[in-house]
Structure 1
């Protein structure tokens, strides 16, 4: 059945600690390789990682999906130890399964044997829901236990702040707990950082960025990495250094700040005095009253999180953020690698903000508004395979027939009960009704997906629509409303690489497709960003100075 099939193996553990138990990555991979040998299939690649499966934000998983969905169609099967290794979110699992099924790629579990019939689909869906429920319950119990552990003054296993290390505290029952103590190798570095920020160096006063540069030039490292602006800021504002660490302040999954009533202070031995700590905080506030969250809120730059330092090999690749000069009279995009880590990271690149905004806006307006260019960029989308459409229509017809048959089966069961051939309380009747209902739900879900796909296929783009969109794009990008201009740039532009001689602008075809569709509807807001519309050889020459 699987003879000669191309198989990619995906293995996952929730945390690196699972490397020590039966669900380790090598065990999963060994089991999968034995399955491939016994099935006579062919192994193509192996992807493995540690991390939660509650969403698809996993680097190796995304690499795998990008590869298997490439034009080469390199695999037939994704092989996992169990379905929970792939996802613990039922909706995400069902969406990816349908997405891969359309490309004729199967998901197979080594330890859970399912077929291809509707009953198997129902079983897989139910198992995905159970996995999600099981994951949520585990998370709830783990969080409750960790909060209780913190209330009792114990450390929950995260990486300790700089200047601290963990030590074991024996318990009368159960495994040892952990607390924090000073790390003799790094505690003096923390004191040096606070003292240097307050008093400066022989060269004069220092700020957070200058302090990061100073530490890096001294050869200091934090967890093997150079200091950055943000890491220094986090250390100088961390209450751990005056005797307490706040646990449960943020939701680890969403990053949202929890109510203060849920915060748990964990006592730790202080490293500096409260006077020193609050003197540093006051000095930071005096120098930058808009630091942190407020600064982010006031950032309305056109190319926020889009511009990067370097085009080719003439930059460091760091994000370029908005900076001001001349007491706020001049505005620039500056390399944050240089700003955060100093000259050891990058010599720096400053570009006048208005100049770069104009270059990018004009390039996008000129590049994307031409009908010939738009047609070329959208050609893959417009030329959907007629064979694929026909296959989907045939499958939709079959599924609708299946829904009709299930309705007939349901009516027959109801008739048997009404005729008193069977009692409504008969367990066989209840089981049959539940089975029919589950099959109908699974089939209806597949019908909904196919109808949505075919609806998208029927949205044909005519030359008139392309021309109209080009005119609209020019109008919006060169219009008087800066908010609309920023929304279109943020939608269509994914990355702006700023080099000494060239500027390369790239964006996603999917975002362009959404914008064209939205332009057909009057009074439609700018659609939200979701293949790159700028070909690899395309770049925009910077004007000569």
Structure 2
């Protein structure tokens, strides 16, 4: 025990008329002090912690208690136990024997603002003979004192929830007015002071584009859409690409999840949402509780929509990852004509031979499918030769595009009535939603009623289904019917003929855009299915000297057998 504390004990002993022979443990009780504030800003700028410590030290001196240790917790909420200093103190207090007999706090709210947690931690301390003492809320050890402590704890919890409710309301209004709520700005942005000030005289802040980071954001979008040097890139590859070049994410290496966040947030087109998730549980709030903010955009809406569509098209549930990442020409496109399973690369003789094999035969048993293995180079050459010599002919491509325009005109003419019907249905659903929400806001219907919540969810699902159908019809209507010039067709055919045989990575990406699948028949034919829409968009995007591949083409109809926009071609190998 420090010498100054021993001297203090002797003074206390003399003042109380105790004999020198009495052990120090009987003279005074050893205690620990615990002081806390809720935020780091309070700890840096407030006088609460020094004041708490001063009052507790003076109180302990008046009582003759020895202070064994002082625990200070800056910037931690008392509504849970995720507090490192609290846990260190509890670990010390629950030793046997305990180094102190009591924990002294200014008020019980400094220890916990949750009545259940307060009771549990008091019970833990009591098992080791450690008391919890508040210098401003003194209670006895009898049942009346125990009841008083519980009442104090319940009131502290209520006050905490009320404060949280008002703080949340104020932060939502701050967000509605376009101000930042003090958190770290998202990547690509910084905060700048606004003219408006808080009640304490501090300037409020807004988000502004931070150009050094915004340049990296634009680069991420460009790499995902167009690849690098003609090669496609996924999120993991983009993360590695940026990290290798020293373009770190605020000093840290990029990870795939970070790249996904940049590519998926509407923030970068100028739309930010506040109150999306609950701060403690991280559960998503209902969309009607979100607060929409407008910020400066880094990416234009068309680019963002193209990236979102490409992410959807590359989703593992829709396309095998090997179709995107594999360097094998036809992986992800080949289908077995016997059983319909995918065909993938297989090797023989220690890798000397490479061929395409039905996955049913490869993963299960050979008697499930009687298809044959096909040498990889033989099939690759046959497909590329067919495209170069028979398909990439301006007259042939022009004829296909003429058929596409005719079918598109027929499809548009048949959708006018359906478009009007979907709009009427959508308006009716939105009106029902509005009436239901008005009834809830007015108090006519209880918001906690499960049946009311079920009705809201059902209306939301119906509305989303109508919006999806409406978007599909609009997409068809938006497709231009203007003629593609012979010059554009000629450039398309020439570019592909020049590069298909020389660059298999380039060839694979064009085949992925133009084709949906290639089925191998028993007669030795490769039946290729494609889309008129894919062909038309690819012709329009292809330019002389291009190094990249059109990375995504919107498909205006599902790829079923009945799709009139689906085209079949045959190549013999």
TM-score in terms of structure 2 length: 0.46
TM-score in terms of structure 1 length: 0.49
Tell me which structure has the larger Cα radius of gyration. 2
